Amino acid sequence: MSLLVVGLSHRSAPVSVLERASLAADTQAKLLQDTLASEPAVEAAVLATCNRIELYADVDKFHAGVAELSTLLAQHSGVGLEELTPYLYVHYEDRAVHHLFSVACGLDSMVVGEGQILGQIKDALALGQELHTAGRLLNDLFQQALRVGKRAHSETGIDRAGQSLVTFGLEQLAAGEPVDEWTAGKRALVIGAGSMSSLAAATLLRTGVAEVVIANRTQARAERLAEILTESGGVARAVPMADVARELTRVDIAVSCTGATGLVLTAESVATALGVSLDVATRDRGRDRAETPVAHGAGASDGADVAPGCPLDAEARAEAGSGAAVPQARQSTDAGSLELHGAWADNGTAVMQGRVREQGGVPRRGPTRLALLDLAMPRDIDGGVHRLDGVRLVDIESLADASADAPMAADVDQVRTIVSDEVAAFGAAQRAAQITPTVVALRSMAADVVTNEVTRLEGRLPGLDDKQRAEITQTVRRVVDKLLHAPTVRVKQLASEPGGAGYADALRELFDLDPQTVAAVSRADLNDTDGGNRGRA
């Protein structure tokens, strides 16, 4: 079997396509189940974030696997295969491993070096384990990817090359002014109460915002988040979603990251809040989604920035499942610790700010009255609002455009070296593991030979006492073990090298091992102590 990944990301597809192709949680589960039911795949895992949708599988045929996985992605994303295909990329074997390890280190993120992807990879593994679609290969792969990502962050300064989307987005809104100075004394509205919204609220307070208002469909979750922020020394309060329109008239900044299926803020609702006119051109712009204003109670999710598309950490889905505003482990944590660490490379700021001004900033008709940051995928805020007088919008698309021109930090080269080394080590370990069932089957056959010969000896020498019989048996076993030790150790070493897969075939041929016996060893290995989290054998 061989590792295959088919996917699309912000590097291969425009945000408009990623937005349409986003996968809800139940859709991800159905995609995994259908992938496992397809002929080429025996294991499957899906990594779905606001910036990427990737389907990983252990397949027995490359071309059939690519065709099947591409078709399944199109069917479950709702984007036609012909339209989706030009944006898809394919990685196979070691290149697939290299890709995931690079993703885990933040090298492939919109904001290079960000650490939230580790939580998303952990979520992807957990879903595959829960549905029993992740077998030995994908369990090993994703667990090693998590270790590689953590190693990159602990051994290098990659954190200095990147930051959370929240901080990055605020820098773009500040448009050249230091964020701390730009936010000082302002009032902010945060829509949503999940992981990304918690991060946004904590970041806003840390940078000097005078007050943060939390709005969420489930009032208890909003109140819990406001309580945590207040206990940490900030000024925060919770309001019902029905009060969003009124709060827009009072705040200077609004951040939204929910899983709503309709727009949370329409151009009309923002125009009404600011008391400005909305011309026809503005109303017709950016309507990719249903326009049901969540301020009137429709279209909001239940604490919904845990839905796919929002760049969440590993705890986000736990929040969605438990209904808690913030995980219990966080209840005694101060607000500052909610923010992910890292600072964007200083010399990239001016370039990024310039691109955002070109892409999504308010036309320079006057001072900014309302700054909007949309971190949701699909989008929460009508793209047409940036044409309103006094409104500035930064969303995922403008962040992608800005980060595309950002220079890499020097630490990235060191991380790339780590990734290359880890890919080589993972490949060697996997190749060595592939020969293990054959070695086990060989030793099992040798043990049977010893048992049969000792039994025959007992028939010929019935006068042996127990001590003599045990000594003879142990001697024969030692002879067999010594004969097999050097070749089995050496064959594992050779098998770990590129092209070493043929050594398993050689062993089976030389010792006339029954293929079914080897296959039985493989099945037993897949059903060991972790078998409950593994896929089909």
The DSSP bridge partners found for residue 28 are none
Q: How far is Cα 150 from Cα 509, in angstroms, rounded to an integer? A: 43
50 is catalytic: yes
Q: What is the largest CA-CA distance in the chain?
A: 109
Please tell me what DSSP assigns to residue 259: -
249: which 2 tokens?
């008239």
Q: How far is Cα 160 from Cα 344, in angstroms, rounded to an integer? A: 6
The 3-state DSSP class for residue 526 equals helix
**C-alpha distances in Å from residue 178, one per residue of 46, 235, 345, 427:** 39, 22, 14, 46
Which of 50, 105, 257, 310 is labelled catalytic?
A: 50
Q: How many CA atoms lie less than 13 Å away from 69 in the CB half-sphere?
A: 32
Among left, alpha and beta (phi > 0; psi -120 to 50; other), residue 436 is alpha
**CB-based contacts of 191, cutoff 8 Å, min separation 6:** 197, 215, 216, 241, 244, 254, 255, 256, 257, 258, 264, 265, 294, 380
* Beta-sheet pairing, 253-256 with 89-92: unpaired
Gyration radius from the chain CA atoms: 28
Report the catalytic residues: 50
